[in-house]
Amino acid sequence: MQLQQELLSADPATIVANHAYGLFELATIYLGATPPRLTDASLAIDAFAGILSAVEDRLGEVGEPLQDGLRQLQAAFIQVAKLDHEPTRTSPPPVTEV
């Protein structure tokens, strides 16, 4: 009952923003895992983007920082994905005969 009263008295935009930020944090955890969990990070990033797309104009002043965070997260995903897919070489590439 007390939790319901607290939620009813809170700003809904703040609650939604906090949930969106939770998805941001989740994506960063997946990206930072060893090895990176790109599929899981992608799901969290897409969910984060979906929330922002659906309600950004109603989030007020917290909307823009969340959009900035989304852009940074998407850029980080691209960087991690590139690094994760680069072949690791412990010896020179094989010589091909012509």
Q: What is the pLDDT of residues 68-97, one digit of tens each?
A: 999 999 999 999 999 876 544 344 445 555
- Closest to 72 in 3D by CA, of 21, 12, 15: 21
Is the pLDDT assigned to residue 17 strictly greater than 80? Answer: yes
Q: Between these two residues, 13 and 95, which has the higher pLDDT value?
A: 13
pTM for this predicted structure: 0.81
pLDDT in tens, 45-63: 999 999 999 998 999 999 9
Residue 91 confidence (pLDDT): 40
Q: How far is CA 39 from the centre of its chain?
A: 11
Q: Between these two residues, 10 and 86, which has the higher pLDDT value?
A: 10
92: Cβ–Cβ under 8 A, 6 or more apart, which residues? Answer: none
Alpha-carbon span 75 to 6, nearest angstrom: 36
